A and B are shown apart, each in its own frame.
Chain A
């Protein structure tokens, strides 16, 4: 058992409650508490807490503030996307005012600018007298708002002249936040990632009441064995653990194995978990589908999201897309050889002297002018096609469908340039439907 967190100014029972709720974060909790100090003392004007997703940044701060009953306001800068929303949200929380049908969802006071916010906040100061007020923000989106907001919040204590601490939570390091004219430097605290043992401990907390704790712990051990090298996000792991536990228990329910047959259980679950990594982890199939599949005990061959990549296109659109793909991934100098019947003599050795270091499929699509697209299009379509308005509107609708991308928006009419934005598998499927052997025409596959 870790030592009880002690701190003057807060009652022991409160601290104990905090400690029970926050597992594996004792040092962070005691550090935050010691920085907070007693309620009446000044705390540091701004604290910047960073760490990976799901390392308990919000959990620790929110539990501390709630359990110790410190006056605080929580806000998320993604939700409050304008400064007015942000200010009113803070004031609402500090005045304990909630927008409801009774007050027609209006906020406590209208507050448009930072200046008004500071003025209103100073009036509020009488409400909480001397106690430190905490404002907790999820800070990443704060950078994209008004330039003065971040600098202002960092020195809110000085601007307000009262006892207030702003806590910033972020996944991104402080260096990416600093404005170019400098600002008040916050106190930076790192929330380190959970180690494997700690993850095991936390995940084992929510074990199933019907089974023993040891069984669940061994299940978590197997789960971490599969997923730990890919994913350390506690939320994700927890979700996966909850999803796959029924499958793990299946042999026990059927009576094929006992709780002590760990090897048998492991053999049962391991391929299942590997499958889960390719499907549920990538959100290829949704969690509810996954659960359904387990109940039916059917084989796991539901089509995922990405398997639905097949798109029904008109005949000429298909050819246009193929032409665009060829134009994007073949160098211009190879066009003559591929698409001209009498291209004269080209020395094979010379031509095949594979240029350079990497293939085009590594570097990505190159932009091409409209003329080249049409030239390739006419040479691969067998019949004569008139360049009607239809053809051109198909090109622009391919852009709208994001199968092609317009490069450089300088000129819409005069020789626009395009890029092909589809994958190789996709174009191969399309080419197969029109009996076109695309691999023969691709420079990389010669």
Chain B
């Protein structure tokens, strides 16, 4: 790129970047993915076929989409639904009910929500009237009245399906599956869950009414495909307003994929998790560093983003402790080593700390006991130590048994990085037994 050229588009470069940011942010934050989801063609086909049969032929179905978090369950479903709704006949005909286990925490709320989303008669504006029993009877009657040929099919989408299984008597699930089993209004019940053992949660009568059709989304792609996904996610679409900027951007992404260090970072990420969400987080962090003065993603950006993603948070917390608190942690580490991980109380920690001070005959760390107790309580507040008994058991705070929630290596690492750590403290930590 020559200097003159860059000057020509200089006027719009701010807008270009702002637009690119908008498009990419929508992808990473709002999960609006371009094109079809990757590597799930067979599942996609299966689900589309199934939903088509409900929507077009009036067949009742039930299916569970199972996969780990961030594997693209919602993405797949949305993609299939979009494709389904493109058929004009279907779009007019099908009703959708979206439920979420996080929101509809019991059947009463879920039922109201269904009534609201189906726009049934007892809804005025946004409010639903009637008691639970009335609602249920009304809804069931409405669903029963219909038959396969004439009534409009309903798609029930249950997000966080496993939470619905915790409802009392699983009334909602029972009724939904029951409708899907008998020849009434055509319904499709689609459950999304991340639990592999979700069928074990269902009651026997509910389980027997479920069709046992499961679609598993176990991301089974390899690193090569992961790289491909990386490229696809970062590329700008063809209909970007400024063609030249988009071309340059895409070219840069392409060269980024071939970069050795980038590959290493992605490999590391790939090994820790394969889900899209963690990739999105990485990309989002890298993208957020793009500004007018820094118009393209560089390998260093990715490196920085990956450093942010993989930071050990406890080490950060340890870094901010005072010297006294650090000394207490070292004393606890010694207690752990001596007594083999047995829980200890403040008195023992203080005793250990006293031993250190006496031996070193350093008056610098010689603090009164209440000051030490305050430091101990701060550690408790940060949840670096955990009490063994519940809060109901009343003991003096000196004698409350606690456990250290830190690893030896974490402590030693933190000591290495601690700014201006006194040498005697360091030596004390390194010495084998107190």
The reply to whether A187 and B371 contact each other, CB–CB distance below 8 Å, is: no
The verdict on A157 contacting chain B, using a C-beta distance below 8 Å, is yes
Chain A's closest residue to B367 (CB) is A230
The reply to whether B313 and A37 contact each other, CB–CB distance below 8 Å, is: no
The reply to whether A421 and B396 contact each other, CB–CB distance below 8 Å, is: yes
Chain B interface size band reads: 35 or more
The reply to whether B395 and A188 contact each other, CB–CB distance below 8 Å, is: no
Q: Mark A282-297, 1 if CB is under 8 A from B, else 0.
A: 1010000000000000
Given A115-B104, A362-B347: A38 in contact with B18 (beta carbons within 8 A): yes
Within the complex, which residue of B29, B316, B322 is in contact with A192, where a contact is CB–CB below 8 Å?
B316
The verdict on A441 contacting chain B, using a C-beta distance below 8 Å, is no
Chain B's closest residue to A282 (CB) is B370
The verdict on A172 contacting chain B, using a C-beta distance below 8 Å, is yes
In the assembled complex, the Cα of A7 lies from the Cα of B292 at a distance in Å of 9
The reply to whether B322 and A173 contact each other, CB–CB distance below 8 Å, is: no
B22: A residues at CB distance < 8 A: 38, 40-42
The reply to whether B69 and A182 contact each other, CB–CB distance below 8 Å, is: yes
B394: A residues at CB distance < 8 A: 402, 405, 421
The verdict on A103 contacting chain B, using a C-beta distance below 8 Å, is no
The reply to whether B103 and A42 contact each other, CB–CB distance below 8 Å, is: no
**Most chain A CB atoms below 10 A, which of B277, B316, B420:** B316
What is the CB-to-nearest-CB distance from A124 to chain B, in angstroms, rounded to a whole number? 13
Chain A's closest residue to B399 (CB) is A364
The verdict on A218 contacting chain B, using a C-beta distance below 8 Å, is no
The reply to whether B103 and A152 contact each other, CB–CB distance below 8 Å, is: yes
What is the CB-to-nearest-CB distance from B254 to chain A, in angstroms, rounded to a whole number? 24
The reply to whether A185 and B281 contact each other, CB–CB distance below 8 Å, is: yes
The verdict on B382 contacting chain A, using a C-beta distance below 8 Å, is yes
The verdict on B288 contacting chain A, using a C-beta distance below 8 Å, is yes
A7: B residues at CB distance < 8 A: 291
The reply to whether A421 and B395 contact each other, CB–CB distance below 8 Å, is: yes
The reply to whether B311 and A37 contact each other, CB–CB distance below 8 Å, is: no
The verdict on A148 contacting chain B, using a C-beta distance below 8 Å, is yes
In the assembled complex, the Cα of A123 lies from the Cα of B324 at a distance in Å of 53
Q: Mark A418-430, 1 if CB is under 8 A from B, else 0.
A: 0101010000000
Task: Please report B residues at the A interface, Cβ cutoff 8 Å.
Answer: 14, 17-18, 21-22, 25-26, 28-31, 68-70, 74, 100-105, 109, 112-113, 126, 162-163, 194-195, 277-278, 281, 284-285, 288-289, 291-292, 308, 311, 313-314, 316-317, 319-324, 345, 347-348, 351, 364-365, 367-368, 370-371, 374-375, 381-383, 393-396, 398-399, 419-420
Q: A42-B22, A364-B395 are in contact. List 17 more A-B contacts (CB 8 A).
A: A34-B291, A37-B25, A42-B30, A44-B29, A123-B126, A158-B31, A172-B382, A173-B313, A173-B316, A184-B69, A232-B320, A232-B321, A282-B374, A306-B370, A363-B348, A364-B398, A421-B394
- 18 residue pairs bridging A and B, Cβ less than 8 Å apart: A34-B288, A35-B285, A38-B18, A41-B25, A44-B28, A44-B281, A50-B313, A115-B105, A174-B313, A175-B314, A189-B308, A190-B311, A230-B371, A281-B374, A364-B396, A365-B399, A405-B395, A421-B396
